[in-house]
Structure 1
Amino acid sequence: MGNWFDKEPPPPVVLVPPLFDFPPLAARTRMLESAYNLLFGKLALKCLFDDYFEEARHFSTRMMLKPIDDPRVDLVATVSGPLDNNTDVVGNATFRWQGDVYDPHTFAELFVSNTEPALQVRSCAYHPRYGFGAFGIFPLIPKKRVADGVMGLRYGSGNLSFGVRVLPSALASTSLKSDGETLQNAWLVSKMGCLTVGVQYEPQYGSNDALNYKNIKNWSCAIGYGVGTGSPLTPSFNFSLELAKSSQFIASFYQHVVVQRRVKNPLEANEVVGITNYIDFGFELQKRVDEAKESNNIPDSTFQVAASWQANKNFLLKAKVGPLSSSVALAFKSWWKPSFTFSLSATRDRAGTTACGVGIRIENLREASYQRADPNFIMLTPSKEHLAKGIAWEVGKRPVLQSEINAGNFESLPNELRPLDKIF
């Protein structure tokens, strides 16, 4: 009886909700893209500025489904269009095969759409031991006699990435082609500690000869400073400067913050004393630096600022501000199997007109299997509860889960919370 009264209370628990969309869906096909276009915080900023901000007076639906019997395959289908009519509705679907469930770098996809291209194959084969990979994008039912496909070779390691993307239709021609007609782009990116530098060549300007590389408008360069492991459980910071095509200066900043706040929820057990929140903030400034005359559609400079707050596993609030309009979005997600997400966004332009957009998503690609933290995952912000006598806050002053993450050990985490692969 005495043992029953002397029983220690259960240790306090901090809830760690899953992120709404991690890893990003665009990361699954990043091996088809230039590493230059995805690094320097570009992928994170794109998700922050675009996700759940539906176009005014438009709707979008997306289904991401995977069969239970064969987790190597999945299907992603989207339908979007205006709310007032059905004339411009766009629908497409992607069937994906991935040989290794935990390796998204070797895959094959079949893409179908009611727009051009109607049928397309996208595939990549990557050897992680040697770091080399080959990829291709090929339309199967082109309207034109010559298909506009893309082939490429790449190398990726923890500190270096380089590769090229070429047009196979130009390679198949017997006549001598210029680099602008054969080469789509080439990139070289290197990482040295927290510093990342890169350069990309895209032959779009100049004469139709093999000397387009001498035109500085075909070159872009960037430098970025970033810290963080890439796991959403740890904070990250990225600042970059880019000179795009020697005509546009771009400065961007992105920060992912992990905060823990106290929570008093009558629906939770008594030992639940806190919850982890995720706050993201991003800023991007673009300014033309060439002497070309400005057109009515291209302003001399523009900027956008966005922030998001995930309060728990169910609610996400986002807002962004730009020179032409401001938007706010609210998303609700239920972690059923499959999960269901409903989002509503409102956009107010400079003229004072407000319009709404609606989004619906159904998904079972990512699972929420990490809602409750390890008992030793204590609050990072000191509070008086740390000093309470007999309470389990003192058990493991170095939190097991937190210290392992800081050390780069993510083996105990679900795949959805681990960093993206370190290869560029």
Structure 2
Amino acid sequence: MKNTLLFLLVSTILFSCKQKEASHKTLKRDYTAINDTLTNNLQSAFKKDAIIGLSVSVVDDQGLIYENAFGYTDIALTKKYTPNTTQNIASISKTLIGVSLLKAQEMGKLNLNDPINKYLPFEITNPNFPQTPILIKHLAYHTSSINDLDEVYSKSYVLKKSKHNENEGVYDWFGMPESKISLIEYIENSLTPEGKWYSKDMFTNSKPGELRAYSNIGAALCAQIIEFATGQDYQAFTKDYILKPLKMTSSGWSSKDIDTTKRSRLFANKEMLIAEYALITYADGGFITSNRDLGLFLTELMKGYKGNGELLSKASYKKLFEKQQFPNIETGEQFGIFMEFSNAFIKIKDNVIGHNGSDPGVMTAMYFNPITETGKILLVNTDSDFDDNFWPEVVSIWNALIKYETTLKKEQ
């Protein structure tokens, strides 16, 4: 009788273990087929030959699902672009300002409803509405009424060296190395009446907080305010509260932060590089990272959206993604703190959440779809203005990622 009971017990345990093993194997689906299809579709898109180098990745709130890279990082076309290749990512950089801003608020260093002049060594007001203060949240939602005049904002782009090779293109509005100044000097020169570039046209004719008008200078000012409020350099702040916690070891704000041997040059086309430059308003577009590192950040944003983030509290993430709508945005798009809710980037059915970016030699996109619960990243090291096939190639790449995302959702 005891032997019979022992046999039954062992049999039950073994059966239970097999069930768990089978269940575990069921959860670990084999995505080889759809991954291969995506790779083939991306290779076909890349054959349009307008983009020199690119990387893509697909993530969810658990981490990386797919990554790949195509093309090259040097003019000789010998160094392969990989998921670990680094480049600056243009305006996606602003999403770090959003996270940093809410971290500073959590720390009690500032409040989104504070006037910006509480933290500045000089006063900034819209001369058309001098009695209406610009608040920190106005910077975060691009409703500050600060205007990006081309002749002023272009002064942010500064060449890293004075002399260049014949295959290094220089835009005539790039400043020479000796024109580089600090961010706070740039802001004072641009936005205060005593500044040498100041004019009333630096501000719109709408009250602060009333209408949305995208402002790179306003975003950079927000990073400067974080610096004054916390007493910590903004670059160091992002390292301490974003990069280190997420183990983004290939990311930073300058060459000294990264392995320069893995950094891509930026291209006009296969025959012409873009001369190396830096941004005085670095926080609005100068972040340097790899696709793999940026995937860690996007995964964290997706966790935060679902209330499980590590960098910010649940309440702060709720604020980051709290939808705002503005009367002058006729498309009905909504916005979070340095975050877009939109289908405007490569027209698609679902609204996605994130940001894109563009700079000389750079085109980037980072979005996640709350319906499919997947995120997509595209980093490109080529300028969009020199080849008519550029945007058709980008559209083909993005559509391939959307098709993969849709198929992935069906198979889960």
Q: TM-score with structure 2 length normalisation?
A: 0.19
Q: TM-score with structure 1 length normalisation?
A: 0.19
Judging by fraction of residues, say which structure has more helix.
2
